[in-house]
Amino acid sequence: MITLDQYDFNGKRALIRVDFNVPLDANHQITDDIRIKAAVPTIQKILRDGGSVVLMSHLGRPKNGPEIKFSLRHVVGRLGQLLETDVKFASNCIGDEVLAQCQQLQPGQVLLLENLRFHPQEKEGDPDFAKQLAQLGDVYVNDAFGTAHRAHASTAIIAQYMADKVCGYVIEKELTMIDQVLQNAQAPFTAIMGGAKISDKIKIIDTLLPKVDHLIIGGGMAYTFFKAMGGEVGASLVEKDSIGLAKSLIDQAKEQNTELHLPIDSLIADSFSNDAACEVALNHQIKAGWMGLDIGPQAIEVFTNIVKKSKTILWNGPMGVFELSNFANGTKAIAKAMVEATKNGAFSLVGGGDSAAAVNFMGLADQVTYVSTGGGALLEYVEGKTLPGIAALAQEAIKHD
């Protein structure tokens, strides 16, 4: 796999798959630009070399073709500010007009294409669509780790039609950081798993159990564990189909000599609302009709003490419904404990998705070792799966017209 620093882009038109799938508010203003910022070093390196840049990405989940709320036009202004250059925009991502715009680019110029997913062929991995995209550049650069687990036209299939394929800085750093956690972790190694469902995390938990010293479980998935142990969890989220799975994970942790930490208590509420009545309860004694929406004060104390003493930390998934401010304390406490551990020399990796959103929202992203740009991609890579977008960078160009 060729990395960015191994390739000279002088006189080349680089077609870069970036991940500009950023959140927008009702007025189409960007509310978190971390993914755009992540791509800037790759773009700047190519421009410094004397190349031009064509950027392609998806945004959101459009279902019926072009929709203004999913247009990448909303990204142009912020991208131009970060690059300190004018960014041109193409109102489509394929077609004769777009091809002409790409061919007219001069060294140092940047063109952003419209949302790839306005065409269903992108997600379908359609070869003809990929072939049309491949005509837009001389060299293909993949820097979208967040979609590397998808065999889409722009992330994997396109590589069959381009002789020169290069790994961007984002993907290179993501793989380096994750490999550091998986292969060179310094003990004590703590993994923190949050989120709603055990079934979403079972494979990564299976992979990590033999490697970690501590496995902390928070978020909605914790209540399935307590149900498996015979506890009363009220109206808390429980995956009934995963109760047996929770029991087996408890047994596996014992066999692997891994300390499995479940939250002692929760902040419970009488409804799923920021305005709900709240109180603290032990997690095996939650009263009927009430639900756990965040870890409680005892759990926060236990979990943060473990995190602060760790030398390697991997965090994926919030401790509660952090988007509701009254139930964000557990997630915030974990983030602050990671920052403290990092200051004391720990290697800390925040694993994309909601965890990354929380750390970014708190302004702590630059105080941990690394914040991944990929949620699902990170999970699948840690699980040991081959990511199509990564594998494609190493394959030969096998089809030409």
pLDDT digits (tens, 9 = 90+) for 244-270: 999 999 999 999 999 999 999 999 999
Instruction: Name the least confident of 191-205, 317-331, 384-398.
Output: 384-398
**Range of lowest pLDDT (36-45, 350-359, 361-370):** 350-359
Q: How far is CA 230 from the centre of its chain?
A: 34
Supply the pTM of this predicted model: 0.89
195 pLDDT higher than 90: no
Residue 398 pLDDT grade (very low, low, confident, very high; cuts 50, 70, 90) = low
Answer for the pair 204, 379: CB distance below 8 angstroms, yes or no: yes
Closest among 160, 166, 173, 161 to 140, alpha carbons compared? 166
Instruction: Please state, as a whole number, how many other Cβ atoms lie within 10 Å of the Cβ of residue 189.
Output: 22
- 3-state SS, residue 338: helix
Task: Indicate whether 177 pLDDT > 60.
Answer: yes
- Interval 223-242: pLDDT, tens: 999 999 999 999 999 999 99
Q: 399 pLDDT band (50/70/90 cuts)?
A: very low
The mean pLDDT value for 165-177 works out to 96
- Which helix (H) or strand (E) is 261 found in, with range? strand 259-261
The string of DSSP letters for 97-114 reads HHHHHHHTPPTT-EEEPP
Q: Which of 16-30, 302-316, 387-401 has the lowest mean pLDDT?
A: 387-401
* Residues belonging to the active site: 35, 197, 353, 376
Q: What's residue 397's pLDDT? A: 56
Which pLDDT score is estimated for 401? 40
Question: For 62-114, how does the pLDDT look when each residue is reduced to its tens digit (9 = 90+)?
Answer: 998 999 999 999 999 999 999 999 999 999 999 999 999 999 999 999 999 99
Distance CA 366, CA 376 (A): 22
Return all residues near 180 (Cβ < 8 A) that are at least 6 apart. 347, 349
For residue 118, the model assigns a pLDDT of 98
Identify the pLDDT of residue 400.
42
What integer pLDDT is reported at residue 98 of this predicted model?
98
* Between residues 253 and 203, the one the model is more confident about: 253
Q: What's residue 162's pLDDT?
A: 95
Q: What is the pLDDT of residues 279-299, one digit of tens each?
A: 999 999 999 999 999 999 999
CA end-to-end distance (rounded Å), the chain: 24
What token pair was written down for 303?
A: 């979990």
323, 287 contact by CB (below 8 A): no
Average pLDDT over residues 209-220: 95
- Three-point CA angle 346, 349, 353, nearest 5°: 155
Where is pLDDT greater, at 278 or 196?
278
User: How far is C-alpha 126 from the chain's CA centre?
Assistant: 25
Buried b (16+ CB within 10 A) or exposed e, 14-26: bbbbbbbbbebee
